[in-house]
Amino acid sequence: MNDYNHAPDIHKYYRILVIEDHPLMREAISRWIDSDPNLKVCGQANSAAAGMEAVVRLKPDLVLSDISLDGRSGLELLKDLKAMNPDLPVVMHSMHNESVYAMRAMRAGARGYVMKKAGGTEVVNAIKEVLAGGSAFSRVVSNQVLDELAGRARGHQSPIAILTDREFEILELYGHGKTSGEIAQQLNVSPKTVGAHRYNICRKLEIHSTSELICYAANCVSHDGAI
């Protein structure tokens, strides 16, 4: 049985599963983790499907996952992992602006969120903080949680925040220049389903045409490289 509630100590090491679709980044992360005597990479996976299989087979103490994976997104993987094992700690690792993505990761059950630009020391510290029973979110994210709660109390909420995770994912893909057909293929859904999500996105954001949606999404993505 995995022990998720005690800080790492010199008497054992904790087994970490790394899920990342870029080989060089996956190897770099693994080296960072293995450099700590209390941590050991027990496996690597390059997709959500491979990650789920590895969790079942390897039973890691913690999962470090990229938020952007080919096919099924890291957020969807996170939800699946929490449904399968609610006690399994998951830390998300991403190049994307934490001001939007970290909140979604937190709501989906992540115990931490680390930007890829942070470097190895911060990644390892985040993992150890979560293994010790804490969480690893920056002050920016903590302040945003308070702001969002205050906004809800006043009846106001960011337009982007009211999108579902799937709608948010589709908006991001439009921003990266994907067509509706390409989005349907990547997400393994029908074009009709993508169209239904597109309609809901436009309704929620008060956008009146597909071209306006694409411009909106592209503008969002161009800011810090992400929505």
pLDDT per residue, tens digit, the chain (227 aa), is: 454 444 554 457 899 999 998 999 999 999 999 999 999 999 999 999 999 999 999 999 999 999 888 767 888 899 999 999 999 999 999 877 666 677 788 888 999 998 888 889 989 999 999 999 999 887 766 666 656 655 554 445 566 778 888 898 898 889 888 999 999 988 889 999 999 999 999 999 999 998 899 998 887 765 444 45
What was the pLDDT predicted at 222?
Answer: 57
pLDDT tens digits, 156-173: 556 677 888 889 889 888
Residue 127: per-residue pLDDT = 96
Count CA atoms within 13 Å of residue 90 on its CB side: 31
Mind listing the pLDDT tens digit for each residue in 6-54?
455 445 789 999 999 899 999 999 999 999 999 999 999 999 999 999 9
In whole angstroms, give the CA distance from residue 110 to residue 93: 10
- What pLDDT score was predicted for residue 55? 97
Contact of 48 with 78, CB cutoff 8 Å: no
Helix (H, G, I), strand (E, B) or coil at 101: helix
Instruction: Quote the CA–CA distance of 103 and 199 in Å, as a whole number.
Output: 24
Q: Residue 138 is encoded by which pair of tokens?
A: 């920056």
- Tell me which architecture the domain covering 160-222 has in CATH: Orthogonal Bundle (1.10)
Which fold is adopted by the domain 14-144? Rossmann fold (3.40.50)
What is the per-residue pLDDT for 37?
95
Q: Name the pTM for this structure.
A: 0.74
* pLDDT value of residue 39: 97
Phi, then psi, of 113 in degrees rounded to 5: -145, 120
Provide the residue ranges of all domains of the chain, joining segments of one domain with +: 14-144, 160-222
